[in-house]
């Protein structure tokens, strides 16, 4: 049984990095896999939100983004994490196994906690344990993620192995990360050294799936570049992070390789190249944003998709959780 699990935090506007790095791979995998679970991980969002007032509406927006990007609710299970409470039970069981040293090594915790480590919440440190529970609760075999989540998938594989050894049961197989395509790490449009992110305070740092045509054009026009012309091979981009990022976006949207793109624009400045990227975004991203808006207007339909998804996810989760409870020796409830 090949089963995909993929999770997305409803922490703001869904952006091009989320789409090219992970959502689009889920759409492709939908055709190859036996079962596809795609989840709005609202409980994970709570680890970094300072204000929860948009949590529910962002959860609906994320679900709309899945469907608008091509996730078919008839072929995939679309649901909100908090609608399946067993994620938390399994997370607790894993928490009682996970050595603290493993969590202290997580680079995302170091980045997100930053200098405020002592005041960071326990949830931020424990995030990868909940993420392991999200995936292993369904015995998922494939996890499409962007490059930034690679370390967390490694941790969930380690946890699956540790659980099996501790309880002498081969309950969990090791899930495979699916990190593929030319855009596994899309960088900020303002700084080629930082990841494109929902929480970046500058809206000009990212392309949101819901940006209109004018906004797309302005953001690409303003995107940081350098003063050199484009090189004739991708190798020439190695020390030019902003230019490399734009070429990766172009490659991911057009299906051309970075070398083909460099050959096409070699020796030119960035203006024609940027116009072409804008046109690609208008062709591929604008219709997704328009569909998200349409789906959001029919809120009830989205809510019923999430309800059906949660029912299907709960069924699967209950079945697996009974095996886990038995393996760890908990008394069976009558
Ligand atoms: N810049 C990116 N490039 C490629 N993939 C990315 N992903 C996120 N940013 C990029 C992938 O999108 C999936 C969902 O991520 P998430 O929303 O659950 O969490 P995140 O990685 O923390 O995303 P953001 O946008 O950076 O949100 P904030 O600012 O709230 O922390 C994951 O598979 C991720 O790899």
Cα 240 to middle of ligand 1, angstroms:
23
- Residue of the CA atom closest to atom 19 of ligand 1: 9
- Give me the mean pLDDT over the 273-283 stretch: 97
Mean pLDDT of 166-194: 94
| Any ligand 1 atom below 6 A from CB of 177 | no
Structure tokens at 77: 């299970």
Does ligand 1 have an atom closer than 6 angstroms to the CB of 198?
A: yes
Residue 9 Cβ contacting ligand 1 at under 6 Å: yes
- 150 close to ligand 1 (CB < 6 Angstrom): no
Q: At 40, which helix (H) or strand (E)? A: strand 35-40
Residue closest via CA to ligand 1's atom 15 equals 8
Q: Which pLDDT score, from 0 to 100, does residue 312 have?
A: 97
- Taking every pair of C-alpha atoms in the chain, what is the biggest distance, in angstroms? 74
Select from 130, 131, 149, 244 the residue to mutate for testing ligand 1; criterion: most ligand atoms less than 8 Å from CB: 149
Average per-residue pLDDT for the chain: 95
Percent of residues, the chain, with pLDDT higher than 90: 90
Confidence (pLDDT) at 192: 94
Atom index in ligand 1 nearest the CA of residue 14 equals 25
CA of 145 to the centre of ligand 1 (A): 8
CB of 197 shorter than 6 A to ligand 1: yes
Residue 189 in this model has a pLDDT that exceeds 80? yes
* Pocket-testing residue among 21, 112, 113, 181, ligand 1, by greatest number of atoms within 8 A of Cβ: 21
Q: Is the CB of 245 under 6 A from ligand 1?
A: no
Q: Decide whether any atom of ligand 1 lies within 6 Å of the 8 Cβ.
A: yes
Asked if residue 270 lies in contact with residue 247, where contact means CB atoms within 8 angstroms, the answer is no
Between the CA of 198 and the centroid of ligand 1 the distance, in Å, is 8
pLDDT band of 209, cuts 50, 70, 90: very high
Question: Domains in the chain and their CATH numbers?
Answer: 3-184+300-328 (3.40.50.620), 203-294 (1.10.240.10)
Atom of ligand 1 nearest to the CA of 199: 29
CB 232 within 8 A of CB 264: no
* Mean predicted confidence (pLDDT) in 183-210: 95
Ligand 1 atom at minimal distance to the Cα of residue 184: 4
In the predicted model, is pLDDT for residue 143 greater than 90? yes
Tell me if 81 CB under 6 Å of ligand 1.
Answer: no
> Which band of pLDDT confidence, cut at 50, 70 and 90, is reported for residue 298?
confident
Residue nearest (by alpha carbon) to ligand 1 atom 27: 198
Examine the pLDDT at 97 and tell me if it is beyond 80. yes
pLDDT tens, residue by residue, 242-254: 999 999 999 999 9
Q: Does any ligand 1 atom lie closer than 6 A to the CB of residue 246?
A: no
Name all contacts of 192-200 with Cβ < 8 Å and 24+ positions apart.
192/224, 192/240, 192/241, 192/242, 192/244, 192/245, 193/241, 195/17, 195/148, 196/15, 196/16, 196/17, 197/15, 197/17, 198/9, 198/11, 198/12, 198/13, 198/14, 198/15, 198/18, 199/11, 199/12, 199/48
State the pLDDT at residue 29: 94
Residue 119, pLDDT score: 85
Is residue 69 very low, low, confident or very high in pLDDT (cuts 50, 70, 90)?
A: very high
Residues contacting residue 27 through CB under 8 Å, at least 6 positions apart: 69, 70, 71
Q: Which active-site residues does the annotation give?
A: 112, 195, 198
Q: At 259, is the pLDDT very low, low, confident or very high (cuts 50, 70, 90)?
A: very high
Is the pLDDT reported for residue 299 higher than 80? Answer: no
pLDDT-based confidence at 228, cuts 50/70/90? very high
């Amino acid at each position: 049984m090949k089963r995909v699990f993929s999770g997305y935090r409803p922490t703001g506007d869904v952006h091009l990095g989320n789409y090219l790095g992970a959502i689009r791979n889920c759409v492709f995998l939908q055709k190859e896999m036996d079962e596809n679970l795609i989840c709005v991980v609202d409980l994970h969002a709570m680890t970094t939100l300072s204000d929860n007032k948009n949590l529910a509406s962002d959860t609906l927006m994320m679900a709309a983004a899945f469907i608008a990007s091509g996730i078919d609710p008839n072929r995939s299970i679309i649901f909100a994490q908090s609608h399946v409470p067993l994620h938390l039970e399994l997370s607790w069981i894993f928490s009682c196994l996970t050595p603290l040293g493993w969590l202290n090594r997580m680079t995302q915790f170091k980045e997100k906690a930053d200098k405020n480590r002592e005041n960071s919440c326990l949830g931020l440190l424990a995030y990868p344990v909940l993420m392991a529970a999200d995936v292993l609760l369904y015995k998922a075999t494939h996890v499409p993620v962007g490059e930034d989540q690679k370390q967390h998938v490694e941790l969930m594989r380690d946890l699956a192995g540790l659980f099996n050894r501790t309880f002498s049961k081969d309950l969990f197989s090791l899930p495979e990360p699916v990190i593929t395509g030319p855009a596994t790490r899309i960088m900020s449009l303002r700084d080629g050294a930082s990841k494109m992110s929902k929480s970046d305070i500058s809206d000009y740092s990212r392309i949101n799936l819901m940006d209109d045509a004018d906004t797309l054009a302005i953001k690409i026009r303003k995107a940081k570049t350098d003063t050199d012309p484009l090189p004739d091979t991708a190798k020439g981009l190695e020390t030019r992070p902003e230019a490399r990022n734009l070429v990766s976006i172009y490659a991911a949207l057009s299906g051309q390789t970075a070398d083909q793109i460099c050959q096409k624009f070699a020796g030119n400045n960035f203006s024609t190249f940027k116009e072409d990227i804008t046109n690609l975004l208008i062709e591929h991203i604008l219709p997704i944003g328009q569909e998200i808006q349409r789906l959001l207007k029919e809120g009830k339909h989205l809510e019923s998709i999430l309800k059906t998804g949660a029912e299907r996810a709960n069924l699967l989760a209950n079945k697996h959780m009974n095996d886990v409870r038995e393996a760890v020796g908990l008394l069976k409830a009558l």
